[in-house]
Amino acid sequence: MNVVLSVAEMKEIAAKLRRAGETVALVPTMGALHEGHLALVREAARTSSRVVVSVFVNPTQFGPAEDFARYPRDIEGDLRKLGALKVDHVFAPDAASMYPPGGSETRVDLTRLPGHLCGLSRPHHFPGVATVVLKLFNICRPDAAVFGLKDYQQVRVIERMVADLDVPVRIVRHPTVREPDGLAMSSRNRYLSAEDRAKAPVIFATLKHLADAIARGERDAARLIELARGRISDAGGSVEYLAVADPDTLDDVAVADRPVLIAAAVRFGGTRLIDNVVAGG
């Protein structure tokens, strides 16, 4: 497994892989890797002959009051975990390499998809995500890139960016990987106190409860949201948003008479967790 620190070296490696006729799958991460990330890496190895994993905590997707400075970083642990898998190159640049001094005048800013769900409270987030992912695509030149559906809105933003800008990368969706009690795996789970960790599985349990209610014939989105808010609040969570939305556009729906995305952002203590399920059909 080759660890690459510079943009120039990664570009050179990508060009050589292209010339050799290799297919390349990229797994973009911000490190602090857990089993959810490793599942994406295994999927990448199934899709392509070569696997590149990027490890980069991207500053441009964090707002001024967010957790960039304390976001968990463990590059040595990440490399140990990746070393046990089929990974050819780990691209681990620093911020100065990705965003040279003097700043950048260009960013990718979608007009509609970020105006929902997480984008309502995190206006800096999705322009930062789309910009860094496009940079990673241009540097690593993958044929495919694997993303987890725990970050469903992120996946839709990247899919739309790729379609709108004719980026020749196939986006591979991977199901959310969960702990045995249903909590979606996330690097931020390590922020949770023992007490809050015991409460946090209520998020997925509630989303499943709403999906079951839809399967039984409930169609009123407002009633579903009210039910979910009550269950999560009773368990000690602070709801940032709960939405019943179109899975493609992310627009809210009033009547769940077709497949819908049920998505939530909930805080336990100071930790913000997100999760979602697709229901109906």
Residue 102: is it exposed, middle or buried by C-beta count within 10 angstroms (0-12/13-18/19+)?
exposed
Given the residues 34, 37, 89, 174, the one annotated as active site:
37
CA 168 – CA 18 distance, rounded (Å):
13
Q: Which residue has the tokens 């696997």?
A: 51
Helix axes 125-140, 7-19, angle to 10 degrees: 50
Are 78 and 33 in contact by the 8 Å Cβ rule? The answer is yes
Distance from C-alpha of 208 to C-alpha of 235, rounded to nearest angstrom: 16
Q: Which of 155, 136, 146 is nearest to 40 (CA)?
A: 146
- How far is the C-alpha of 4 from the C-alpha of 266, rounded, in Å? 36
Interhelix angle 202-215/221-234, nearest 10 degrees? 150
Is residue 89 flagged as an active site residue? no
* Calpha distance 219→11 (Å, rounded): 50
Q: Which two tokens stand for residue 157?
A: 């933003």
Active site positions, annotated: 37
